[in-house]
Amino acid sequence: QVQLQESGPGLVKPSQTLSLTCTVSGGSISSGDYYWSWIRQPPGKGLEWIGYIYYSGSTYYNPSLKSRVTISVDTSKNQFSLKLSSVTAADTAVYYCAGVNPYSNQFDYWGQGTLVTVSS
Amino acid sequence: EIVLTQSPGTLSLSPGERATLSCRASQSVSSSYLAWYQQKPGQAPRLLIYGASSRATGIPDRFSGSGSGTDFTLTISRLEPEDFAVYYCQQYGSSPQYTFGQGTKLEIK
């Protein structure tokens, strides 16, 4: 059973870069079985896909966030990471990492989520 | 971008009743790429249905999905107390792009 765990600062100042890491256990990122994705959910609101990375390093981003997002992978640590630059209060959200089935494109596995607040 | 609109926004029902949740897409969606999730307060979403009608591992058979094209439905045949939650539909489109509906809150009447 694949498990995911997000980690990173819970508070980021406006205009700075949000950085989160997702550690995968119970499976290898290098297996190629999943796309590794980030999704966010502002408090009391719905879900927004941020982007994903494949073990090979190929990335795809939500066009609405593309200019500010970088997702990277470290196969040696079985981790993948999110960087979101120039954050504002609108980026305050629970950030989830997830494993995406590459054949039917649903989010099979989710981390528990981590709340990131953007505030000075 | 394909927009998913869920209805109703809130559904008030009693345990034992049947729940019907709707997800309408702004353009045709491949049935292979339509999924449903359940989210309880303070928890991550949980996959219920993928490919419009296939139940995920461990999901009780009171949950079923149907539909095609632009209209999809999640049905819960007999509500259990643990089924009261928020439900989201999700689609995958080329680019690639993943979008979610705004959610339906299923609350106890």
The larger pLDDT score, comparing residue A50 to residue B30, is at A50
Q: Do B88 and A46 touch (CB under 8 A)?
A: yes
Beta bridge partners, B7, equal: B22
Q: With DSSP H G I counted as helix, E B as strand and the rest as coil, what are the percentages for chain B, rounded to 5?
A: 5, 60, 35
Tell which residue, A51, A43, A5, has the closest CA to residue A119: A43
- Model confidence over B33-54: pLDDT tens digits? 999 999 999 999 999 999 999 9
For residue A41, the chain B residue with the least C-alpha distance is B44
Q: How far is Cα A18 from Cα A86, in angstroms, rounded to an integer?
A: 8
At residue A39 the predicted structure's pLDDT band, cuts being 50, 70 and 90, is very high
Does B13 lie at the interface with A, CB-CB under 8 angstroms?
no
- Tell me the average pLDDT across A57-67: 95
Q: How far is Cα B96 from Cα A62, in angstroms, rounded to an integer?
A: 8
SS3 state of residue B73: strand
Q: What percent of chain A has pLDDT over 90?
A: 98
Q: How far is Cα B6 from Cα A108, in angstroms, rounded to an integer?
A: 21
Does A58 lie at the interface with B, CB-CB under 8 angstroms?
no
Q: How far is Cα A51 from Cα A38, in angstroms, rounded to an integer?
A: 6
Query: Does residue A65 register a pLDDT over 90?
Result: yes
Say how many C-beta atoms besides its own lie within 10 A of residue A27's C-beta: 16
